[in-house]
Amino acid sequence: MADVEETLKRIQSQKGVQGVIIVNSEGIPIKTTLDNTSTVQYAGLIQQLVLMARSTVRELDPQNDLTFLRVRSKKNEIMIAPGEGRPGTKVRASPQKC
Amino acid sequence: MEIVNVLMKRRSEFNRLRGFVDSDFKKLVDMSPDQSTSEQPIHKDQSVQAGQEMSEHETNTVGLEFISHGMNHVEGGWPKDIDHENMEQTIRFRKKAGKNEAYISSILQLGSVMELCIRQNNAIDKYEQYFEDEEEEEENHNAPYAKTMNVLRDPHQVKRTVTSLSWSPDRGRKLAAAYSSVVFQQTSQLSTDSYIWDGCCIFQKMKVCVSYWDTRRGCQTVAYSSVEHSHKDPVYKVIWLQSKTGTDAFSASTDGQVLWWDVRKLSEPTERLILDLSKEGNLGRALGGISLEFEITMPTKFMVGTEEGLIISCNRKAKTPAEKIVCTYDGHRGSVYAVQRNPFLPKNFLTVGDWCARIWSEDIKESSIINTKNGVSELMDACWSPVRPSVFFTVKMNGVLDIWDILFNQSDPTLSVKVCDGGLYSIRVEENGRLVACGSEKGEATLLEISSGLSVPQKNEKSLVAAMFERETKREKILMGRQREIRLKERCRSEQSREEEVVREDGEESPQELLARAEKDFYSMVEVELKRRRKGKDLIQEQVVCEDKQT
């Protein structure tokens, strides 16, 4: 439990991270650092995307699996790490120029 | 009553072909309709043809209505027993989920993955637009090539050399080729025809006179100059001049004269210049002119390349003949076969003669700023490319056409093409830079097409070439200055030592000993000077290299 908290805190403290959401396989956000409405919105929308992406990868090659998904947009980037069974962590980051 | 018709036939006549015969018709039976039956018609509903009996019946099914509308996922898939509005229940559920073993392990694993990607993001913005300022450059993957398109042969039986070629200036693909015999004293048997290809007109050209023909007037010489006033030796080069009347031309020949002509009156030259370096106008001491150069942007100056290897730069507008010769450039060991200014940078010009090609700057008279290595065979003609300032073409006696690109490689030609077995005597590039015509000893004029890599100008080419020429010019100037210094010093020193010697030894030595001593002195002086020059050149080369690095 403490490890989980620590991990989350570490991620949150990275530069450019706007928020972290943890969602379980049913689409319920377990932990979040954003406000409720946004969290729910994100959880619902992204769950379908992850399912689709995963099924695409699996269909092309059954031995393959989705490891990471990045949705890059003009303003920011959504990074999704899917777990087995649970869609997992989502991070909202703003892109930075180096 | 029995209606009986009896036919009798013999058995042997059965199945024999009947022989039918026309006969008049005979009415056999006549049955007219019975009037009584037509008064009571009987109606019958009956199909005429016997068929299957079928019936038709319509029904309507109950319709299924479809509506398409989206669904807004407001809350996650909460289990049935938990009311998602209830804060307590949701929190309790969340806490329970948080204690799940699998949950913890997977979060830890995902966390590390996520961190890696975030760090990646922070390290480099890898999606930025790279190279947004640069335009797409055409990459020339192909090696440069020159393709032979056409070979135009001399229709005469005795093969004569193509000594001069000229493209028609209006970009038409007309090529005029002048034929003559370069071998001395064989002219009597040869016809003196010249040709324009892609027109197929035959013209007469006298060997020692300058003739003028007009393509518009047809196939006859319009006029030719009289023998007394013309050149006494073969005319090697004729160029049209830019003038208001458009009828001026000038010619050079090995008898040492440069004559100006007005083509309307070819009986006498309008002006005459004798290429005598001592400026006395002595024809006997004049140098034979082999090639002429004239640039439209500099109408008062022109250059003559001579048999002796000197290039003379002259001013047309000078008052006296003595002032006409402005300066000379000591160029080659053999005849200078071609002189041409760079069409983009007129201060630099190209000459070929003996076994190498040299590029000169007008200001430096003592030596060329760039020269190529001495080739295997003699170079006979050269010209700059009219579209690219750094490309020029040379032809050699072994039949090879060389294309040089001095920005790319200065020690070797960029492309060498063996055009024919005999020697190549002349070369001309067409105005668009893609077609090259070269004329050979055997009378063939070969048309070659150059690859786009050598005929399409690159960006910044002119400034790069100009910078290169300037750098070389500067180097030569410095070298010249240094040489002058050295010479002065040596002269002073040798004068001093000579005075001393004269004082000491007066008439004591025999002429042979004097000679031996003079030789020894000479060789030692030469060695010293060479050493100094080498040291000087090294120093200056270092300087030039440093300058290059700085720029």
State pLDDT tens for residues B395-414: 888 888 888 888 777 777 77
Given CB atoms, is B6 within the 8 Å cutoff of chain A?
Answer: no
Q: Which residue has the higher pLDDT, B133 or B518?
A: B518
Q: Which residues pair with B176 in a beta bridge?
A: B166, B196
In a domain, A59, yes or no: yes
Give chain A positions within 8 Å (CB) of B87: none
Indicate the burial class of B200 (C-beta count within 10 angstroms; 0-12, 13-18, 19 or more): exposed
Classify B216 as helix, strand or coil. coil
In a domain, B91, yes or no: no
What confidence category does residue B297 fall into, taking pLDDT thresholds of 50, 70 and 90?
Answer: low
Given CB atoms, is B97 within the 8 Å cutoff of chain A?
Answer: yes
B323 pLDDT higher than 70: no
B256 pLDDT higher than 80: no
Distance, in Å, from the CA atom of B393 to the CA atom of B416, rounded to the nearest integer, reads 10
Q: What element of type H or E holds B526?
A: helix B511-550
Cβ contacts below 8 Å, chain A against chain B, sum to: 113
Given CB atoms, is B513 within the 8 Å cutoff of chain A?
Answer: no
Q: For residues B243 and B374, state if they share a domain.
A: yes
What are B161's two structure tokens? 């050399």
In a domain, B494, yes or no: no
Q: For residues B411 and B537, state if they share a domain.
A: no
pLDDT attached to residue B516: 84
In a domain, A49, yes or no: yes
Average pLDDT over residues B319-323: 57
Q: Which of A27, A88, A95 sits opposite B110 (nearest CB)?
A: A88
pLDDT attached to residue A59: 92
In a domain, A51, yes or no: yes
Q: Which residue has the higher pLDDT, B217 or B162?
A: B162
Classify B495 as helix, strand or coil. helix
- Determine contact, residues B378/B356, Cβ cutoff 8 Å: no
In this complex, do A84 and B98 lie within 8 Å of one another by their Cβ atoms? no
pLDDT attached to residue B202: 30
Which of B410, B438, B456 finishes a domain? B456
Query: If phi over 0 gives left and psi between -120 and 50 gives alpha, with beta otherwise, what is residue B113?
Result: alpha
Q: How many domains does chain A have?
A: 1
CATH of the domain at A62: 3.30.450.30
In a domain, B67, yes or no: no
Give chain A positions within 8 Å (CB) of B106: 83-84, 86, 88
- Determine contact, residues B220/B238, Cβ cutoff 8 Å: no
What are B265's two structure tokens? 């009156």
What are B440's two structure tokens? 């050979």
Classify B122 as helix, strand or coil. helix
What is the tens place of the pLDDT at every residue in B443-479? 777 777 877 777 777 777 788 888 888 888 888 888 8
In this complex, do A83 and B110 lie within 8 Å of one another by their Cβ atoms? yes
Q: Tell me how close the Cα of A54 comes to any Cα of chain B, in angstroms.
A: 16
What is the tens place of the pLDDT at every residue in B298-307? 667 777 777 7
Q: For residues B222 and B300, state if they share a domain.
A: yes
pLDDT attached to residue B237: 62
CATH of the domain at B277: 2.130.10.10
Which of B431, B456, B481 finishes a domain? B456
User: Where in the sequence is the domain holding B411, given as residue range(s)?
Assistant: 146-456
Strand positions, DSSP E, B153-220: 161-167, 175-180, 193-197, 201-204, 211-213
In a domain, A28, yes or no: yes
Q: For residues B444 and B537, state if they share a domain.
A: no
pLDDT attached to residue A36: 83
In a domain, A9, yes or no: no
In this complex, do B125 and A67 lie within 8 Å of one another by their Cβ atoms? no
Angle among Cα A74, A78, A84 to the nearest 5 degrees reads 155
Which residues between 447 and 506 in chain B have a beta carbon less than 8 angstroms from any beta carbon of chain A?
Answer: none
**Other C-beta atoms lying within 10 Å of the C-beta of residue B316:** 17
In a domain, A4, yes or no: no
Contacts of B413 (CB under 8 A, 6+ apart): B394, B402, B403, B404
Cα nearest neighbour of B96 on chain A? A30
Q: For residues B435 and B288, state if they share a domain.
A: yes
Contacts of B25 (CB under 8 A, 6+ apart): none
Which of B440, B456, B472 finishes a domain? B456
Q: Tell me how close the Cα of A61 comes to any Cα of chain B, in angstroms.
A: 22
Q: How many domains does chain B have?
A: 2
What are B536's two structure tokens? 């000087």
In a domain, B51, yes or no: no
What confidence category does residue B190 fall into, taking pLDDT thresholds of 50, 70 and 90?
Answer: very low
In this complex, do A83 and B77 lie within 8 Å of one another by their Cβ atoms? no
In a domain, A60, yes or no: yes
Given CB atoms, is B71 within the 8 Å cutoff of chain A?
Answer: no
In a domain, B200, yes or no: yes
In this complex, do A83 and B125 lie within 8 Å of one another by their Cβ atoms? no
Q: Best of A1, A6, A7, A46 to disrupt the B interface by mutation (most B CBs within 10 Å)?
A: A7
Indicate the burial class of A24 (C-beta count within 10 angstroms; 0-12, 13-18, 19 or more): buried
In a domain, B227, yes or no: yes
Cα nearest neighbour of B108 on chain A? A4
User: Where in the sequence is the domain holding A61, given as residue range(s)?
Assistant: 15-92
Q: In percent, how much of chain B has pLDDT > 70? A: 59
What is the tens place of the pLDDT at every residue in B211-252? 444 333 333 333 444 444 445 555 556 666 655 555 566 666
In this complex, do B108 and A8 lie within 8 Å of one another by their Cβ atoms? no
Q: What's this model's pTM, rounded to 2 decimal places?
A: 0.48
In this complex, do B107 and A22 lie within 8 Å of one another by their Cβ atoms? yes
Q: Which of A14, A30, A68 sits opposite B98 (nearest CB)?
A: A30
Q: For residues B520 and B428, state if they share a domain.
A: no
DSSP string, B29-79: ---PPPTTGGGS-------SS-----------PPP-----------S----
Q: Which of B76, B111, B128 sits opposite A43 (nearest CB)?
A: B76
Cα nearest neighbour of B116 on chain A? A11
Cβ burial B246-255 (10 Å sphere, 16+ → b, else e)? eebbbbbbbb
Q: Scanning the structure block, which residue is given the tokens 């000197």?
A: B310
Given CB atoms, is B75 within the 8 Å cutoff of chain A?
Answer: yes
Is ipTM strictly over 0.85? no
Residue B393: DSSP 8-state = E
Q: Scanning the structure block, which residue is given the tokens 């324009």?
A: B196
Contacts of B375 (CB under 8 A, 6+ apart): B355, B356, B396, B402
In this complex, do A79 and B103 lie within 8 Å of one another by their Cβ atoms? no
Average pLDDT over residues B500-506: 59
Residue B12: DSSP 8-state = G
pLDDT attached to residue B217: 33
Q: For residues B395 and B541, state if they share a domain.
A: no
pLDDT attached to residue B351: 80
pLDDT attached to residue B215: 35
- Determine contact, residues B361/B469, Cβ cutoff 8 Å: yes
Cα nearest neighbour of B112 on chain A? A7
Distance, in Å, from the CA atom of B76 to the CA atom of B81, rounded to the nearest integer, reads 14
Q: Which of A68, A70, A96 sits opposite B125 (nearest CB)?
A: A96
pLDDT attached to residue B228: 43
- Determine contact, residues B94/A30, Cβ cutoff 8 Å: yes
In a domain, B448, yes or no: yes
Cα nearest neighbour of B94 on chain A? A30
Residues of A with CB under 8 A from a CB of B: 1, 3-4, 7-8, 10-11, 14-17, 22-24, 26-31, 40, 43-45, 67-68, 70, 72, 77, 79, 81-86, 88-89, 91, 93, 95-98
**How many whole angstroms from its chain centre is CA B69?**
66
Q: Which residue has the higher pLDDT, B28 or B90?
A: B28
Q: What element of type H or E holds B228?
A: none
What is the tens place of the pLDDT at every residue in B28-38? 888 887 777 77
In a domain, A77, yes or no: yes
DSSP string, B500-524: HHHHH-SS-S-HHHHHHHHHHHHHH
In this complex, do B103 and A97 lie within 8 Å of one another by their Cβ atoms? no
In this complex, do B107 and A29 lie within 8 Å of one another by their Cβ atoms? no
In this complex, do B111 and A10 lie within 8 Å of one another by their Cβ atoms? yes
pLDDT attached to residue B403: 83
Terminal-residue alpha carbon distance, chain A = 35
Q: Which of B93, B99, B121 sits opposite A16 (nearest CB)?
A: B121
Q: For residues B524 and B417, state if they share a domain.
A: no
